Structure 1
């Protein structure tokens, strides 16, 4: 949750808003995945593969239409290993999180995975810089984690406790570690790489990694795709909004937002998911969830860098 003096408070605030917007979009994805599973029988990994594939297609089309294709190619040629690694880590995080949900339930997977990420990211950044977190940073992190715990455990919607809690816990820990690594890596990449080019390259790499799951589903006689027009609309939304657009916003925001601050800011994801469930599924927002949401929002506000008055010369 450190800030860099090279960035103005205004640009840092814009970056933080972009990261939060990505988190809000991710929060709508859970409901879409649930509907696709219940209505079409699509598994989590099959849906993830479609999400990546559609996002990659949308990003390539956007790059061509906006004449950014050369930038995409140049980005891949300049940093092939790192951008591929970012895409693969994104795909792995996604898969580990969904597996953790199936094994241990939504609450455990969300609290452990999303809660561990900002702790690990902040620890890495301070260890690398050989600094200690300030009292303000500790307060922001504490408020965010308590808020996440309250929102996640207060949810009574889809996805109860799984039947493999130990395995689910280990998968959630691995998911949180990969998510932290992905965000920290994205921060370093985003400083000198075009966000659209970075998102396109990373999503393409993730697509290659997840595509075999479509083959596995077909060979296992499981549904590979939806047969409903509404289902395809949901898949397109999942790929374009919760993958292509959201990760574009994330990488754009990471230009001026540290990896640890970004992992805190994206905790608005379960908050937006709870609000959406209340609006569309008539789930009740408890007082506990409201308090947790207020703590998360307070933590995000606390991330905004303070204005530093100019010193007299």
Structure 2
């Protein structure tokens, strides 16, 4: 599976695409939508680049009331990093004074495959916007997230086909006292996802983020190992929601979840896109659903037989 649609909602607001230059028409209330500022990743001569679109956004929208901003494509995102975009956003912090949420890289596979998106160090955005409550990032190539302190951030989502271990360690080592929701797409080593469960240890210990209530460790080729680590992780006891979806979760990981600490306090356990057998699915639902846990399970993935007796299993989103 690939990313086939742009965000329709972000930070509880409908996403509104900034119209093309000269399009006319009435714009919505600046505070009522999440503004999507984007250009084509493959530009024809004469088309606006991202800097020009952003400059027009700053001129035409009441930026003092903008609450959420979605950065879509920038030119040649498949080989040009988001660093200039990050710099431009930082430079506008005196105008985007009400900004609460940023999503960086809202591109579909037609714009740029997720593992081709070139990111950069995104933590300067947190320094530039101390009131930021939500940050979303798509794409892991060149992504950097050194440990950072931010007092207001409540939600962090990092979507990749392969999340570098250094980034995982940087996030886990950050001081984010208000963080309530964290979602990491760990991906596969084929696309740079070299993180191990050891890299997750500070996060799973429960020491990193005291306000955390929703944890997603998703899209992982090592999902069975992640499930086993989660089964004994102190952080789980205070979660309302646990998301282990999109990965290569087999009966081994399911058994680890059942054999670990009780999960009956959860509001939701998301295991969508999995490789669990029917008996294992029945065991999981029987153990949790009677306690009021919403267990999200779809039909299992089948994998592919290579003809030599080995079955290849895949994460939901890689390339």
Structure with larger RCO (C-alpha < 8 A, sep 6+): 1
Same fold (TM over 0.5): no
Higher helix share: 1
Normalised to the residue count of structure 2, the TM-score between the two structures is 0.22
Higher strand share: 2
- Structure showing greater radius of gyration is 2
